[in-house]
Amino acid sequence: MATVLIIGASKGIGLATVQAALKAGHSVRALARSATAIRVAHPKLEKVDGDARDQDTIEQALAGMEVVIQTLGVIPAPSLIVFGTQLFSRATRVLVGAMEAGPVKRLICVTGFGAGDSRGYGGLLYNAALSLFLSQVYADKDVQERIIRRSRLDWTIVRPTILTDGPRTGNYRVLVNPRDWTSGFISRADVADFLVKQIDDKSLLRRTPTVTG
């Protein structure tokens, strides 16, 4: 069993990953702005309130950890369409720098299908929606991926397709070869299931799998 730092742990994929990691027997440190409000109680869960972009916060959160799962997200808002965000790149730059300077080298990061070299593989409607509504957000995810790819860490970048609030099914596809990449739907619980499996599975080191139902 591992000691795992989950960043962005208070909702969405992050919260589902906290629950999945605890169920698998791992010890979890959950970092988020409102981590102490997480409605999960477990003897192996530590909740830490903090900003993922803050150097001191990240350095302290990494102490004693073996694996980091980064599951940052943004709340949909009209301002994101126009102005975008720098959350992903800024937080990742801080995290990678701190990990490279310390003993924790395993990083599992969630970005999204359409980030990096998966851009344009989603089909006409998916690509159009990404271009119209999320181009600025995904531009920052592109930077996030470049920071990780250029690092010396043992990284895996996970790109889920369209997210749903469905249950964990365990019935999803992991697409590594670009010729297989396609859009689809996957529950946050199934994404979390896949992320937790990567804690012990090193077969996708320095790969960028797409996960879809």
Q: Over the stretch 4-38, which tens digit does the pLDDT of each residue have?
A: 999 999 999 999 999 999 999 999 999 999 999 99
Per the prediction, the chain carries an average pLDDT of 95
Distance between CA atoms of 187 and 165, rounded to whole angstroms? 5
- Contact call for residues 90 and 138 (beta carbons, < 8 A): no
Mean pLDDT of 158-186: 96
Residue 49 clears pLDDT 80, i.e. is over it: yes
Give the closest residue to 211 by CA, choosing from 115, 196, 185. 185
SS3 199: coil
pLDDT tens digits for range 51-70 = 999 999 999 999 999 999 99
Q: Whole-prediction pTM value?
A: 0.96
Mean pLDDT of 172-188: 96
Tell me the percentage of the chain whose pLDDT exceeds 90: 86
Tell me the percentage of the chain whose pLDDT exceeds 70: 99
Mean pLDDT of 176-191: 96
Contacts of 156 by beta carbon, 8 Å cutoff, 6+ apart:
107, 108, 109, 198, 204, 205, 206, 207, 208, 209
Residue ranges per structural domain of the chain: 3-212
H/E stretch holding 5 reads strand 3-7
Give the closest residue to 199 by CA, choosing from 22, 15, 10, 11. 22
Contacts of 192 by beta carbon, 8 Å cutoff, 6+ apart:
13, 16, 17, 19, 20, 168
H/E stretch holding 160 reads strand 154-160
- Contact call for residues 31 and 69 (beta carbons, < 8 A): no
Q: Which CATH superfamily is domain 3-212 in?
A: NAD(P)-binding Rossmann-like Domain (3.40.50.720)
Residue 127 clears pLDDT 90, i.e. is over it: no
Residue 78 burial (C-beta neighbours within 10 Å; 0-12, 13-18, 19+): exposed
Place 47 in a pLDDT band, splitting at 50, 70 and 90.
very high
Residue 78 clears pLDDT 80, i.e. is over it: no
Place 76 in a pLDDT band, splitting at 50, 70 and 90.
confident
Mean pLDDT of 141-170: 97
